[in-house]
Amino acid sequence: MRTALSTVLLDAPRAAAIWLGLLGVVTLAIAGLLLRPQLFRFDAGARIREAALPSRSERTELRRDQERWAEEVAVAASRAEATARHRREEWLTAQDEAEQSWRAYEAAEANVRRLADAAAMPLPQTDRTPAEYADRERWLHRAALAAYWRRELSVEQLSDVFAHRGWDPRLHPVEQELVLRRAVRDHLFAQQRAAREREQLAWRAAELATAAARSLRAEAARALLPVVEEPDSVLPLTAPGAAEQTREIPAVVVGRAPAAAY
């Protein structure tokens, strides 16, 4: 009994020191928890956010890809702007051609009206001889050929004149010139319509090219902007007051709307 008691008494200070040490560690842990509780708090959202967000090397690679993409879009935007300028020049050229064709048509219409007034007057009488008819035919051919070289008649119209398809070379020169001026007017009107259609197509092409260049330039500007990281959690979290807000929504009474009495 004395030996056991002496052994216990000898180990008592050591056990007391151990218990005091454990008590001190527990006291420090409790004090730290009370003073700075965020150190011991387990934030699942923060851990998930850190795992979901890219690392520094991944962000660097993403930034390089973004800069490379911005350069490619900038080059495409420059080419699109050059194409838009070219399309605009084509549209301006087509617009000038349409205006010139319209002025030519107006001049031809004025000539037709002038000759129509002259043809309404009594025509001078000439001998209806084979020589006179031959002279009228030669005059018609020379006048039609001159109009063709001025681009006032088409090849088909000129061939019709020489083949006498729809043309009477025996008419008086005043009447022949009126018929010729009407043919010139019709041809210039067809040219004016074609020029107007080309002008409209060129305008649409210029508008599309301008819109494409503007879109690519905006995309290049967006690509040069730095990537903004969201500070909040990447997981959708329900707000604490969401459930309370749903309870405050008034109920809608379903029924027939009151009809106005007349």
Tokens representing residue 202 in the block:
């060129």
Tokens representing residue 152 in the block:
């006032």
Q: For residue 172, give every residue at least 6 positions away whose Cβ sits within 8 Å of its Cβ, in sequence order, or none.
A: 123, 126, 136
Supply the pLDDT for residue 173. 80
Residue 196 · residue 104 · CB < 8 Å:
no
Residue 191 · residue 153 · CB < 8 Å:
no
CA distance 182 to 116: 10
| pLDDT tens for the 262 residues of the chain, in order | 556 545 555 566 776 777 777 777 778 777 766 766 655 555 555 556 655 666 677 777 777 887 888 888 888 888 888 999 999 999 999 999 999 999 999 999 998 888 887 766 666 666 677 888 888 888 888 989 998 998 888 899 888 888 888 888 888 788 888 889 999 999 999 999 999 999 999 999 999 999 988 888 888 888 777 654 444 444 444 444 444 444 443 443 333 344 343 3
Rounded to 10 deg, the angle between the 173-224 and 130-149 helix axes is 10
Q: How far is CA 91 from the centre of its chain?
A: 18
Supply the pLDDT for residue 256. 38
Pick from 152, 157, 71: nearest CA to 107: 152
Q: E strand or H helix at 193, and its extent?
A: helix 173-224
CA distance 227 to 63: 8
Other Cβ atoms less than 10 A from the Cβ of 50: the count is: 10
- In the chain, DSSP assigns E strands to none
Tokens representing residue 20 in the block:
């005091």
CA distance 199 to 194: 9
- In 112-194, DSSP assigns E strands to none
Rg for the chain, CA atoms, rounded: 48
Supply the pLDDT for residue 196. 93
Supply the pLDDT for residue 251. 41
